[in-house]
Every structure is written in C-alpha cells, then in structure tokens.
Amino acid sequence: MQKILIVEDEKAISGVLHSILSDELTEYEFVIAEDGLEGYKQIEKEDFALVISDIKMPKLSGTELLKQSMMLKPESTFIMISGHADIDSAVSCLKEGAYDFISKPIDINRLITSVKNALAKESLKKENKNLQTENKTLKRKVNKKYQMIGDSPALKKIQDMIEKVAVSDARVLITGPNGAGKELVAHAIHNQSERARGPMIEVNCAAIPSELIESELFGHVKGSFTGAIKDKQGKFEQATGGTIFLDEIGDMSLIAQAKVLRALQESKVSPVGSDKEIKVDVRVIAATNKNMQKEIEEGKFREDLYHRLSVIEIYVPPLDDRKDDIKLLVDHFSGMIADEHGTAVKKFDDKAIDALKVLSWTGNIRELRNVVERLIILGGNTVSEEDVASFVRK
C-alpha cells in the first residue's frame, strides 16, 4: 500500500488532516511526523506518494525539509501548509519543487482537491517512467541481427537522422545499394519509435509476383481468385499499431502502386474481391536500391507515390565509403558466427583487417559477412593476411 506522510508539529492539526484525508483516500496508508527532522528521517527510510508539510516547525523547517528532500529524492511530491502565508513563501516553495502551497486556516475542499490532483500527477509520472523503462528494455532486446555496427562519420550521420526521425510518424524512404544495411535502418527506426511495442511487418516487393502483391498487401476474401480458398489478412492490416516495411519498393507494379497510394492517403485498405474498407494505423517505411528519379522519368514509378513515401529520405552508403567500420563489423560477425556454430570466437589479426580494407566490396556488408564466415571456416587459428589472400577472390 502506498503511503502519505504528514509533517506537522501541532498534533491537533495533524490529527484533523489524518482523519479527513484517510476517509477520502482509503487506498493509502498515512504516516505522521511531529517535526521536520523526523519527517526527513521518514523520507530517508521509504518512498511516499505524497508529503504534506507545515513550514514553521522546530528542528527543521518545512522549507528546509523540502529542499533537502528534493536533493535526496527529486521525484518527491510536496504540498506545503503555513499559517504565516505570504506570496514570497509560496513562490519560494514552488521554486524548490513543491506541487502546491495552502495557507491556514485550511480550506478543506481545496486541500482535498490539491491532494487528489497531486496523487494523480504522481501516478502519471510513474506510468510514464514505466513506459520509458519498457521502451529501453525493448531496445536492449533488439536482435543482434539488426544491430548497426560502426563508428564512421557516415554511420553516425545515419544514426543521428534515425534518432530525430523515429519519434515522429513521418514516412521514410531508405535508399542505397543492395547489402548496405537498409533493413537495419528500418528496424532501428521502428525500435526507437513509440510503435516499438507493435508489429514490424516486412514485405519484399521484389520477391512477390505482380499478380499476388495486392493480395499480400491488402488481403483477399475467399473465392476472389483461383486458389483463394479462405479469407486472408493483408500485411497492412497485420501491421496496424506498428510499422510496415516495404523493401524494394521500386519493383512494385504500377497497379499496386496506385493501391498503396490510396492506402496512404485514406489510411484504409480494401481486400481483393471485397468492397469492404478496413481502417489501418501503420507507419510506412520503404526502401529501394534504384534511382527513383530515373524510374519516375521512365514511367516506372508514380511521382505522387514517391513524394508520399519520401517525407524523410535516408541514404545508406556502400561499404566502400565507410571502410573504417570494417574492423568493428568483422568483430561483430565473428561473434555472431561463433554463436551460430557453437565455437570459440576466432580472431583476425591487424594485417588481415588491413587486407580486407583494401578490397572493393560490391556486395557491401552482406558480402563482408559471407567472407568473414568463409575465413573463419577455412583460415587458421587466427585469421591472417595470407588467409585473406588465399580464400578471398576479388
């Protein structure tokens, strides 16, 4: 049971406060301290949902109790009471962090209202703190597969952009070559957003036949086409409350593009074969390795959809533009591969790292990961420059 502390040197007043407030707030336990020093000792021992304190008291004044308590426990909530009320005292207490200041003789209705409002505020603060803790826990639990590794200026620029973008619901278009890490950026945005507790639904637009993409995105009803033996929920509906990641959006057919544009405009989707409209609440992140301006000029991609998707555009550079990250990436992949194979982590000596930095990585990070696995399997106890020369063909 949560507790409320009453700090008051006049027993008659503390008794009245206890009697009135305990009738109103039956879910709280009340503790009474007879002076400021005893009040401070109580605050040292345990946490209180609220402290109601007189100002003029022996041993330690209410003002000093407030100051010292705020230094000890900055989250404390205080309501101050004084028979010597004046504007300066009120302003001083409020500056020190008091929630409210009430003068004697006490207006009971005002006191009860102030106490209930202060407790509601305290409850909200705790709820927000719990949510923040949950968010941090979620971020810590991010799969190693989606960690962004490196400290190059190029990567730091992307991470700064992600931090700014994640807090909003703005649509993001991630561009860059295959294997550069566009998927990692999408997951980082989702995991740092308010939607992190919701689903992250991925759709590889290049891997789905054009005749099935609408069904995949928006769902279908039984009998709407050959093979539709039952109703199917689409990816947009599955992602409600979270994020949908449309990878390789540049490979989507023009017909499907028109449907996606409508979904973005109206936040509604219609399953194939149905007139029913389903409300969806999703954040859309898209990615492509194509030159979208060229695709638009050639009539392969709708310009209006491009502008809908690219409220924020993040470019992920090729690995050849961030070779300073290769050492950290190699260490990261070595650890992952050791976990997968159930073996000890294999070291790469400095010359091996230098040899890898000299190479051109047309397949980007994805290619580097494959090369690291090959060298771990075929190389010596410590991967050397000679191993790189023997087992990496360029």
**Cα–Cα dist 114/323, whole Å:** 60
CA 246-250-254 angle, to 5 degrees, is 100
Q: Do residues 14 and 8 make contact, with C-beta atoms less than 8 angstroms apart? A: yes
Count of structural domains within the chain: 3
Considering 299, 317, 335, which residue would you say is the last residue of a domain? 317
Q: What are phi and psi of 223, to 5 degrees?
A: 85, 5
Quick one: 192 and 313 in the same domain? yes
Quick one: 162 and 284 in the same domain? yes
Quick one: 114 and 181 in the same domain? no
CB atoms within 10 A of CB 232: 17
The backbone region for 179, taken as left when phi is positive above 0, alpha when psi lies in -120 to 50, beta otherwise, is left
Per-residue pLDDT of the chain (394 residues; tens, 9 = 90+): 889 999 999 898 999 999 999 998 989 999 999 999 999 999 999 999 999 999 888 889 999 999 999 989 888 899 998 876 566 777 788 888 888 888 888 888 889 999 998 888 777 766 666 665 555 555 544 555 678 899 999 999 999 999 999 989 999 999 999 999 999 999 999 999 989 989 999 999 988 887 888 899 999 998 888 888 899 999 999 999 999 999 999 999 898 899 899 999 999 999 989 888 899 999 999 999 999 999 999 999 999 999 999 999 999 999 999 999 999 999 999 999 998 888 889 999 999 999 999 999 999 999 999 999 999 999 999 999 999 999 997 6
Give burial (CB, 10 Å; 0-12/13-18/19+) of 187: buried
Q: Do residues 317 and 176 make contact, with C-beta atoms less than 8 angstroms apart? A: yes
Q: State which amino acid sits at residue 301.
A: F
CB atoms within 10 A of CB 268: 14
Predicted local confidence at residue 157, as pLDDT: 94
User: Residue 334: which CATH number?
Assistant: 1.10.8.60
Q: Do residues 122 and 49 make contact, with C-beta atoms less than 8 angstroms apart? A: yes
DSSP assignment letter at 321:
G
Quick one: 266 and 161 in the same domain? yes
Considering 317, 346, 370, which residue would you say is the last residue of a domain? 317
Quick one: 308 and 252 in the same domain? yes
Q: What are phi and psi of 243, to 5 degrees?
A: -130, 140
Quick one: 60 and 36 in the same domain? yes
**Cα–Cα dist 47/129, whole Å:** 16
Quick one: 241 and 116 in the same domain? no
Q: How far is CA 19 from the centre of its chain?
A: 45
Handedness of CA 36, 41, 43, 46 (dihedral sign): negative
Taking alpha carbons only, the member of 294, 298, 282, 292 closest to residue 313 is 292
Strands (E), the chain: 3-7, 29-33, 50-54, 78-82, 100-103, 172-175, 200-204, 219-220, 232-233, 243-247, 268-269, 278-279, 283-288, 312-315, 347-348, 382-383
Predicted local confidence at residue 1, as pLDDT: 83
Q: Do residues 115 and 86 make contact, with C-beta atoms less than 8 angstroms apart? A: no
Taking alpha carbons only, the member of 196, 278, 264, 265 closest to residue 233 is 278
Quick one: 277 and 149 in the same domain? yes
Q: Do residues 370 and 382 make contact, with C-beta atoms less than 8 angstroms apart? A: no
User: Residue 67: which CATH number?
Assistant: 3.40.50.2300
Quick one: 224 and 268 in the same domain? yes
**Cα–Cα dist 11/37, whole Å:** 16
Q: What's the start-to-end Cα distance of the chain, in Å?
A: 69
Quick one: 279 and 187 in the same domain? yes
Predicted local confidence at residue 319, as pLDDT: 96
Q: Name the residue with tokens 């004084």.
A: 82
Taking alpha carbons only, the member of 103, 96, 245 closest to residue 184 is 245
Quick one: 163 and 228 in the same domain? yes
Collapsing DSSP states into helix, strand and coil, what is residue 31? strand
Considering 317, 338, 354, which residue would you say is the last residue of a domain? 317
Give burial (CB, 10 Å; 0-12/13-18/19+) of 342: exposed
Quick one: 196 and 272 in the same domain? yes
Domain range for 326 is: 320-391
